Structures are given as structure tokens and as C-alpha cells.
Amino acid sequence: MIPSHWFRWTLGALATLAIGCAHAPPRIVSVDFDVWAAAQPPPGVSRNAADRFYLLRPRARAIAEQQKIDVVLVRDALVYAAPDIDLTPTLIGQGSGPTRVGERVGIVNLQHALETTRDGTQAKATLREEFNRKQAELDRLQATLKEKYRSDPGSGQAAIETLRQRFRELQGELQQHERDATNVILRKLSPEVAELAKRHGLDVVLEASYKGEEVVYRDGVDYPPRGPDLTDELIRLHDERFR
């Protein structure tokens, strides 16, 4: 027969072990870089992100340690951050802390969403058609310049420069159109991510590919913290509303 005191000790040991192995959710707040920078005395703060991080971190660390906050993140680099976990007023001396410290984190793969949603797929097809048209134009220009070079060998260097210049122009146009198409879809996805975050009670939504560039301060917690992946749900929601 197992002694009762051994049984009680075993339960206590298991409880202690479970508590020790459990990962408490990180206590997260955000900060608005631009609002903080605008509040600094003249001559202000450089627009260089590295300079801003260097100046902001000591103050953020002091407040985070005082309020037992684990992670301070740049709000603009996040896909979503709840408004009431904003540490910015405290950092600029207009408050004593965020209304609430966030703990629930989700992730989303925006690149996959961009490539998979119906309007993202349509935008890719449009860009592919544009690329093919521009490539055809370059092929025609190259053929014309080759013909000109045969009749006038002295025009060779000028012909090469003309082809290079037009290639740069077409490449620039294509890249700009790709950025424009991406931004149009992202502007639609952003409020949808916020809607899903509120639906699931999430405080922060991180881009799946983040490597830590958005971290102002972190102490003793794994980063990026993992949470539910909203990507598939975002794609479904977006496609339901696609026009």
C-alpha cells in the first residue's frame, strides 16, 4: 500500500513542476514611434529608426521594469495592436501607464493572404500581363536596334544605352504598379485583421515573418510569441467581401 504522505508529496511535486514548466503569456504594450518622436524637445529625433530605438529604449526599459511589462513593440510595425495597450502617453509624460497590458497574441501571414485572396490572384494576373507586354516591347526595341546597328555599326554603344534606359524605365513602372496593387489590398486587409483580432479577443497581431525589428524592449520571454494563426480565416473573410 502506498503511504498517504507519499501521495500528498507527489501531488505537490507535480503541481510545482507544472507551474515551473508553464509559460505565462507575455505582458505586451505598444508605442507609437512618430507620436513619441514629435513630442521630443528640439532639435527633435532623427527619422533614422536605429537612432530612435537608441533614444527610446532606456525610457521604455525603465517603465517596463517598473510596471512588469515583458515586451514593448512599435505599433506601426504591427498588423494590429489594441488601442488601450498604448504606452506612448506614459513615455512622453502624459500618463502613468497603459489602460491595460496585453497578453493575447495572434499571427497572420500577409504575404500568403496577398497571394491567395481572389483580388490578390487577380492583381498577380494583371501584373503578369503587364510584364509580358513590357517584355514584348523590349524585344521589339532590341530587334530594331540590332537592325540599326547592322546598317550603322557606329551606333552600337548608343543602341545599348537606349535599350538599358528603356529597360530601367519599364522595370521601374512595373515595380511601382506592383507596390500600388499591394497597397490597395493591404488597405482592405488591415481593418479585416482588426475585426478578427477583436472577434478572438487578441491584443496584438504579428506578421508571421517578423524577426524582431519591431521590438523596443524585451525581457525574459520568447519572441515572437506564438498564438492562433488568423491567415486562413482572413482569406475567407476577405473573399466573402471581395467585389
Q: How many residues does the chain have?
A: 243
Domain contains 19: no
pLDDT at 42: 84
Over residues 37-50, the pLDDT tens digits come to 889 888 888 878 78
Residue 5 lies in a domain: no
* 161 C-beta neighbours (distance < 10 Å), count: 10
96 & 122 share domain = no
- 100 within domain boundaries: yes
Q: How is residue 241 written as a grid cell?
A: 467581401
Same domain, 103 and 28: yes
* Phi (first) and psi of residue 71, to 5 degrees: -140, 135
Backbone angles phi, psi at 80, to 5 degrees: -155, 140
CA proximity to 205, closest of 70, 82, 72, 32:
82
Range of the domain at 144: 114-192
Total number of domains constituting the chain = 2
How confident is the model at residue 175, as a pLDDT?
84
Mean per-residue pLDDT of the chain: 83
Residue 178 belongs to some domain of the structure? yes
Residue 179 has a pLDDT of 87
Please give the pLDDT value at position 11: 38
Count other Cβ atoms within 10 Å, centred on residue 37.
17
Note the pLDDT of residue 205.
Answer: 95
Q: What cell numbers appear for 189 in the block?
A: 486587409
User: Within 10 Å of residue 141's Cβ, how many Cβ atoms?
Assistant: 16
